[in-house]
Structure 1
Amino acid sequence: MAEGFSTAAANSVLDAQVTAYPWFKLHVGAPGPNGTASPATETTRKNPAFAAASGASKATSADAAWTGVAGTEDYTHWSQWSAASGGSFGGSGTVTANAMTTGDSFTIPAGSLVLTVPTAS
């Protein structure tokens, strides 16, 4: 028997996740179970636009850009939050980035930040 969500249920879960936790923060290592480990010097959280979930995935529909980052570092992870500051932690994932230097701009292009849910197959 196949295990996992139906595609329709996965789409609902993903849409609800981004509605509840729309803010994304950068990290220089795994954020850990509370989303607070390895924070980037760049503390600005971004609220990127997402398209409606489809096929058990949800992707950004516009660039998420940090202009003039605050520190020289490598971003390796992101965390998802309910508010622009403070708030509740909702999840995390990985990002592939080049080394940033203070003052650089960092962009995750539209369609490149993708959330997925396993489905029954």
Structure 2
Amino acid sequence: MSVGFSTAAANTALDNQGTAYPWIKLHVGDPGGAGTANAAVETTRKQATWGSASSASKATTADLVWANVAGSERYTHFSLWTASTAGTFGGSGTVTANAVTAGDTFTIPSGSLTLTLPVAA
């Protein structure tokens, strides 16, 4: 028996997720179940612009840029939020990035941050 979403249901869920939780926060480790663990020194959340989901995947359509980051660290995770500050946690994922030094600009290029869901085969 296959498990997972139908492609249509996955696309709908991803589009809803991107609309409800557009704010991206950086982390230096797993954000945990509440999205608050291992927060980066850089606390600014950036609002993602998402394309429509297709084939159970959704990607950003514009660069996410953090200019003049607050600390020297390596970002390993991100979390999704309903607001630029406070708000409600909606999920998390991983990022692959080089270490940054305080004052650097950190960019996640357009199309490089994706959300995906498993689809039943």
The TM-score with structure 1 as length reference comes to: 0.98
Runs ≥4 in structure 1, deviation > 4 angstroms?
Answer: none
- Tell me, in whole angstroms, the C-alpha distance in 1 between the residues paired with 2:119 and 2:97: 29
- Tell me, in whole angstroms, the C-alpha distance in 2 between the residues paired with 1:105 and 1:65: 7
The yes-or-no answer on 1:80 pairing with 2:109 is no
Aligned to 1:14: 14
- Tell me, in whole angstroms, the C-alpha distance in 1 between the residues paired with 2:21 and 2:61: 16
Residue deviations 1:5-61 (CA, integer Å, cap 9, x gap): 110000000000011111000001110110000000100001121100000000011
Q: Among the aligned pairs, what percent are the same residue? A: 65
CA RMSD of aligned residues (A): 0.6
Q: Which runs of 5+ in 1 are unaligned?
A: none
The yes-or-no answer on 1:93 pairing with 2:77 is no
Match of 2:12, SS state, is helix
Aligned to 2:32: 32
Match of 2:47, SS state, is coil
Aligned to 1:56: 56
- Tell me, in whole angstroms, the C-alpha distance in 1 between the residues paired with 2:62 and 2:20: 19
1:95 is aligned with what amino acid?
V
Q: How many residues matched?
A: 121
Aligned to 1:118: 118
Aligned to 2:102: 102
Residue deviations 1:63-115 (CA, integer Å, cap 9, x gap): 11101100011101001001000000000011111110011000001111000
Match of 2:42, SS state, is coil
- Tell me, in whole angstroms, the C-alpha distance in 1 between the residues paired with 2:64 and 2:111: 10
Deviation at 1:4, TM superposition (A): 1.1
Match of 1:107, SS state, is strand
Deviation at 1:2, TM superposition (A): 2.0
Aligned to 1:44: 44
